[in-house]
Amino acid sequence: MSTLSELYITMENLRKLNLPIDERLKQEAAKLEEDLIRTEILPTLTEKIEPALAQVQRELVLVVDYVPGTPLKVSLSRKRNLFDALEDVVEIKPDPVVEHTEKKKGGKKVVTKPRTRLRITMPDGSIIEERTAWESMHKFVLKVGVDRVRAVGLIANKIPLVSNTVDKKYKTAQKPLGNGWLLMTCSDTATKRKQILTIASRYNLNVTVDIIG
């Protein structure tokens, strides 16, 4: 079950008990909904609808009206400023493409350090210890929840640690997490350890992370 589904259940239980729904829960639900649209719906729109719209020679705005349990309604407007009067409009778009500065060849020779791994002890006592540091971190992110890790907002090599955009320079280091999300793994073991501890701290998870040879 996704974090969004769990959040919906929590909010519904509060309603049944006639208890107020905390504003923070509403904001978190809105953010997770936007992430879902960005990672699962936007790619479909780009792949299926954009090529069909290429036949249209004039600008227009399509509005999709979604109400759970009822058929979709699509409206068309020729006014590009249609949403100017609305306060809660959110533009859904992929993470921006980042331009990286290429290092000049030559200079000092880089000394390669011995490869190290990570041993992550989770709050329930289970241990994550994979063949490489990035594989351990990848498993940790999946266990905590991709959307929760994304919400922490960590940046690595100028792009989000969990991103929905393939980076031209680091694409081989971006490991798939499912549903269009990618994990940036281009960092040393010590940096990965700090990232894991930052994520754990955000959610008050009693996690121990050891670097091993």
Taking only the tens place, the pLDDT of each residue in 163-208 is: 988 898 999 999 999 878 899 999 999 999 999 999 999 999 999 9
Instruction: For 135-175, write each residue's pLDDT tens digit.
Output: 999 999 999 999 899 989 999 999 999 998 889 899 999 99
Residue-level pLDDT at 94: 74
Residue pair 15/7 in contact by the 8 Å Cβ criterion: no
Residue-level pLDDT at 202: 94
Instruction: For 29-45, write each residue's pLDDT tens digit.
Output: 888 888 788 777 877 77
Distance CA 25, CA 75 (A): 31
Question: And the tokens for 192?
Answer: 């990965």
Which DSSP letter does residue 171 get? G
* Bridge partners, residue 76, by sequence: 62
Position 16 pLDDT exceeds 70: yes
List, in sequence order, the alpha helices (H) in 3-122. Answer: 3-16, 23-36, 42-44, 50-53
* Bridge partners, residue 176, by sequence: 182
pLDDT above 90 covers a percentage of the chain that reads 41
For the beta sheet containing 162-163, the strands, ordered from the edge strand earlier in sequence to the opposite edge, are: 162-163, 181-184, 174-178
Position 86 pLDDT exceeds 80: no
AA letter at 204: N
| Stated pTM of the model | 0.62
- Token pair 């069909």 is found at 52
Residue pair 186/156 in contact by the 8 Å Cβ criterion: yes
